[in-house]
Amino acid sequence: MRRSVLLAVSALVIVMIVSLLLLTLPDGNTIPYTVTGNSGEIEFRHYPALVLATTDSPGSDAGFNLLFAYISGNNKANDTISMTAPVITQQKIPMTAPVISDSATMSFVMPAGKTRDQVPDPLDPLVRIETVPERDIAVIRFSGYASQNDVDGATTRLMAELRNASIKSVGQPFLMRYNAPWTPGFLRRNEVGIEIQR
């Protein structure tokens, strides 16, 4: 009797672990890109033009709820929009870097192939729709919960490797997070990226 209960519990635990792993892996609904090269820890990518829903998110992930409400139907068409990974967070870095200001934005990427005209306008004035032209990006990937120390470390390595390779960056670095909040840290995919000119 004890052995059958132990086997049943073990089987249930295995099913739960497998289900958790399947739920935490990013699905196929991610931004499409083409890998154009590598240099050390850096991967170079070409991204197509993107449409973003963006909100200001000072010092935290406060903007997530606003953006989630937008894709859940809080828009003029009352449409539900599928979630596309990654969630992009950009911190505005002043000229006195590495001190990072507490002003930031958070963006959800609209589904691939959507143009600005095909994306409904938000009802909340704190959410805006932006377009980003196609561009080349350099990224460094890391796992974990994307703590500020992890993000700062990846950003420092990214910028140093670009300088060493004499590759010019454009704009500010940004964080891309691919997984649901309940994903264990060791399974999380995070990336720090920046636009480059090659």
Residue 1 has pLDDT above 90, yes or no: no
Q: For the chain, which residues make up each domain, given as ranges?
A: 26-197
Question: Which residues are registered as beta bridge partners of 140?
Answer: 192
50-73 mean pLDDT: 86
Exposed/middle/buried for residue 58 (C-beta within 10 Å: 0-12, 13-18, 19+): exposed
* Residue 102 C-beta-side C-alpha neighbours within 13 Å: 4
The CATH number assigned to the domain with range 26-197 reads 3.20.80.10
Mean pLDDT for the chain? 83
The helix (run of H) or strand (run of E) holding residue 63 is helix 63-71
Q: Which residue's entry shows tokens 């590495």?
A: 98
Which band of pLDDT confidence, cut at 50, 70 and 90, is reported for residue 182?
confident
Residue 125 has pLDDT above 60, yes or no: yes
pLDDT of residue 74: 96
Task: Locate 102 and state its tokens.
Answer: 């507490």
pLDDT of residue 90: 85
Residue-wise pLDDT for 109-120, tens only, equals 999 889 999 999
One-letter identity of residue 32: P
A 10 A CB-CB count for 61 gives 14
pLDDT of residue 57: 79
A 10 A CB-CB count for 109 gives 22
Phi, psi of 63 (to 5 degrees): -75, -15
Q: Is the CA virtual torsion 63, 66, 69, 75 positive or negative?
A: negative
Residue-wise pLDDT for 2-48, tens only, equals 766 565 555 444 434 434 433 444 445 888 999 999 999 999 999 99
